Amino acid sequence: MSVLSTPRVVESAERVGRKIVDTYLEPDKTFLELHEMINDGSLDLLNDFSEACCREFETIRAQQLF
């Protein structure tokens, strides 16, 4: 990924990986806490990564059209 992707995509993927590892060090969450995290958006690990990938894809597609 780091060879083919933009720095933003790579950095975002690294943040997701770090968050996953950091989560193992945190206390366990109850089902209610997880539900609240989903509702307030704090559990959305992939949003920034997804947006970075979409922008990269759009850039590549625009370059291929010209």
The per-residue pLDDT for 22 is: 93
**Threshold 0.85, pTM exceeds:** no
Question: What is the model's pLDDT at position 26?
Answer: 93
Domain boundaries, the chain: 7-65
Tell me the mean pLDDT in the region 44-63. 92
Cα atoms found within 13 Å of the Cα of residue 43, Cβ hemisphere only: 11
pLDDT digits (tens, 9 = 90+) for 1-44: 777 899 999 999 999 999 999 989 999 999 999 999 989 988 88
Please spell the DSSP secondary structure of the chain, one letter per residue: -TTTS-HHHHHHHHHHHHHHHHHHHSPPPPHHHHHHHHHHTTT--SHHHHHHHHHHHHHHHHHHH-
Residue 8 CA to residue 48 CA, distance in Å, equals 9
- The pLDDT value given to residue 33: 94
